[in-house]
Amino acid sequence: MTFALIIISALILGCAAVAMALRNLIHSALLLIGSWAGVAAFYLWAGAEFVAFAQILIYIGAISMVVLFAVLLTRQGDAPEPVEFPSLSRFVTGLIAGGGVAGVLIGAILGMPFDVRTAQSAPALSVKELGAQLMGPHAVSLLVIGLLLTVALLGAVLLASDRRPDQPEDTP
C-alpha cells in the first residue's frame, strides 16, 4: 500500500516539478495533466473513487483543454522566453520563498504527533450516500457552487470575447 502511495507521489511530484521547470508550455501542460492524473490515482488509492473520476473528468477532460487552448491562443511564435537577469532573480527568490514555505510545512508535519487511526481498509462511502450528503446537509453549498460555476462561465465568455455587444453575430 505504502509502496503504491510512494510511486504515485513520485509520479505526481515528478510531473509537477518538471512541468514547472520546462520552457515549452505545451509540454508543461501535458506534464501537469500527468500530475493531475496522478492525483486522481491517489484518490483511487485512498478509496475515493467518485472523487477520482470527477478529478479525471474535470481536470483532464475540461481544465486541460482550457489550458491547451489558452496556450495555443496566446502563442507568440516559437521563440521561448529569453533567460534574463530579472527572470533568474525571480526564479531564485521564488525558490527561496517556496523553500521557506516547504521548510515550515515539512517541519510542522514531521514535528507534529498525529493521533491517527491508521485504518487498513478505506472507509466505504457509496455514491448514493455521497449524493444524499450533497443534496442533504450540503444542498445550499451545492446551489452556491452551481451559481458560481454559471457566473464563472458567463464571466469567462464575456472576458474572452472581444466582440462588442452591438456587433451582430456573424452569420455565415
Partner 1 sequence: MIIAAIDSYLEVAPLAWRDAVVQWCPEPTQWLVHHLITIVAILAVFGTLFAFTPLAERKLLGRLQNRLGPNRSGLPWWQNGPKLWGLTQPFADAVKALTKEDIVPAAADKLLHFLAPVLIVAFSLLTFAVLPFGRHLVPVGLDAALLYFFAAGSATELAIFMAGWASRNKYSLLAAMRALAQVISYELPLILSVVPIVLIAGTLSLQDIVLAQGFWTFGFLPHWFVFTPWGFAGFLLFLVSALAESNRSPFDLPEAESELIAGHLTEYSGFKYALFFMAEYFGLTALSGLGVTLFLGGWQAPCAFLQFIPSWLWFMGKVIGMLLLFIWIRGTLLRLRIDQLTRLAWQFMVPLTLINLGNAAFWSLTAGWTGPLQLVRWGVSLAIIVIPFVLLGRRLSAGRHPRTYRYAAS
Partner 2 sequence: MTLSAQYLWLIPALPLAAAAVGALVPRTGRALAAGAAIAALVASFLVSCVALVTALADPAAKLVYNFAWFDLGAGVFRLGWLLDPLTAFMCVMVTFVGTLIFIFSLGYMKADANFKQFFCFLSLFAAAMLGLIVANSLLLLFISWELVGLASYLLIGFWFHKPSAAAAAKKAFITTRIGDLGLLLGLLWLYDSTGSLLFFDGGAGVLEAAALGSLAAQVTVGGLVVSTAIGLLIFCGAIGKSGQFPLHVWLPDAMEGPTPVSALIHAATMVAAGVFLIARVYPLMQADALLAAVPVHALTVVAFIGAITALMGACIAVAQNDIKRVLAFSTVSQLGYMMLALGVGSWVAAIFHLLTHAFFKALLFLGAGSVIHAAHHEQDIRSLGGLSAKMKVTFVTFALGTCALVGVPLFFSGFWSKEAILHAAHGWDVSHLPFYAAVLGVVLTAFYNTRLMAETFFGKPRSPAAEHAHENSPVMTLPLVVLAVCAVVLGFLNTPVWPWLDTMLLGKTEVHGHSLMEGAGLMGLSVVLVALGLGAGWALYGRRTRVSATAPDPLAVKAPRLMAFLAAKLKFDELYDATVGRLNSASAAFADFLEFWVWGGLVTLLARLGEFTGLVNRETDERTLNGGFDNVSEQVRGPGRVYSRAQTGDVHGYLRFLALGFVVLVLLVVMGGAK
Partner 3 sequence: MSPLQICLLLSSLLFCIGLVGVLSRGSAILVLLGVELMLNAANINFIAFWRYGPNPDAGTGIVFVLFSIAAAAAEAAVGFALVIAVYRHQRNIRLQEANRLKG
User: Which positions from 68 through 127 interact with partner 2, judged by CB under 8 A?
Assistant: 90, 93-94, 97-98, 100-101, 104, 108
- Closest by CA position to 82, among listed 20, 21, 18, 23: 23
Nearest residue (CB) to partner 2, 93 versus 141: 93
* Other residues' Cβ atoms within 10 Å of the Cβ of residue 103: 10
Task: Report the nearest approach of partner 2 to the CB of residue 101 (Å).
Answer: 6
User: Which positions from 94 through 133 interact with partner 1, judged by CB under 8 A?
Assistant: 126-128
Show the cell assigned to 91. Answer: 526564479
- Closest by CA position to 41, among listed 9, 1, 75: 9
Asked if residue 141 binds partner 2 (CB under 8 A), the reply is: no
Residue 122 contact among partner 1, partner 2, partner 3, none, beta carbon within 5 to 8 Å by kind: partner 3
Asked if residue 73 binds partner 3 (CB under 8 A), the reply is: yes
Q: Give the rounded distance of the alpha carbon of 131 from its chain centre.
A: 23
